[in-house]
Structure 1
Amino acid sequence: MRRSVVELCVEDHRGDGKILAEWLENKTTVNFEDWIASDRHVALVAEREGAIVGFDLMNLAGVIALLYVSPDARFSGVSKALLSALEEEALNAGIRTMKLESSVTALRFYRSAGYSLEGDATHGFGLTCCYPMFRQIGRSE
């Protein structure tokens, strides 16, 4: 996850060490263990050949807090598979609206997955922006 931020989100942090430090501050092993163990979250991991290549986290209100893919697995379908699996988990929990705040780097990905902008961008860390997005999900009947 940390490699994903550092290596893939350059358009967001622009190599600024202060921004990176703020972004990565809560991305610790202890926090990930807590998030994964929490009954208030759904956490999913993608593996390939025994290595973790992606991770996502959603709270039970349907807000996607994290979705990161390893730089080694970028553009291989891992992000799409994780998002699809998370949406299925949301449906199973009775959630019909997914929400998130996208980075600049992920904006195109979320748009291609059917997410729409919802309001103005807000400030993230330093120069970064967060773009609020949403998508209605549901099974066709």
Structure 2
Amino acid sequence: MDASIHISPATPADAGIISRIVERSIRVGCALDHRNDAKIVAAWTHNKTAEHIGSWLTDQRLYMNIALLQDKPVGVAMAAISGKVAFCYVQPEWFRRGAGQALVHDLEGWLIDQGLHQAQLNSTRTSEAFYLHLGYQPCAQTFVIAGLHAIPMHKGLSPPS
């Protein structure tokens, strides 16, 4: 992991940059999933606007964080009080530098602080190996939503010793 990664809670002032990170990560980094199909991309990104993200940032049931690498915002992730990891997106040129891992570990810490013992998520094909590396395991049949294959996964959470 790059030593210069800094993870912090996202704020409403971050909504615009978060929207841009998410959209670019989907369009460029997740091409394997959407196969450059404009309808699938539109369905995937329609609720990732700065306005939607701003409303998520004020919802007390959600936690969103942002990764800074060399003082540049490079990734974002979000979880819900229910234990669901909603997403983790990193700018494609910053893949495999530890930002995604740091974002998810921070989300898991927040979930543990909320008293949860398990996290769940729906992975894309692009992200499956990443989540397997972090200890998530498939837990149900893959399904298709809005043209995307979703792989349900879960992971037990333990407080640090």
1:59 aligns with 2:80: yes
| CA distance in structure 1 between the aligned counterparts of 2:33 and 2:49, rounded to whole angstroms | 20
1:1-141 pair list within 5 angstroms: 1-126=22-147, 128-139=148-159
Letter paired with 1:18: K
| CA distance in structure 2 between the aligned counterparts of 1:34 and 1:66, rounded to whole angstroms | 16
Secondary structure of the 2:97 match is coil
Secondary structure of the 1:15 match is coil
Unaligned runs of 5+ in 1: none
Q: Deviations over 1:68-89 (max 9, x none)?
A: 0011211110000001111111
Matched residue pairs, number?
A: 140
| CA distance in structure 1 between the aligned counterparts of 2:70 and 2:128, rounded to whole angstroms | 29
For residue 66 of structure 1, report the CA deviation from its aligned partner.
Answer: 1.2
What is the root-mean-square deviation of aligned Cα atoms in Å? Answer: 1.1
Matched-pair contact (CA < 8 Å) for 2:69–2:99: no
Q: TM-score, normalised by structure 1?
A: 0.95
Q: State which drifts further: 109-118 or 131-140.
A: 131-140
Unaligned runs of 5+ in 2: 1-21
After TM superposition, the runs of 4+ consecutive aligned structure 1 residues lying more than 6 A away are none
Q: Percent identity?
A: 29
| CA distance in structure 2 between the aligned counterparts of 1:35 and 1:20, rounded to whole angstroms | 21
Letter paired with 2:59: S
| CA distance in structure 2 between the aligned counterparts of 1:54 and 1:83, rounded to whole angstroms | 11
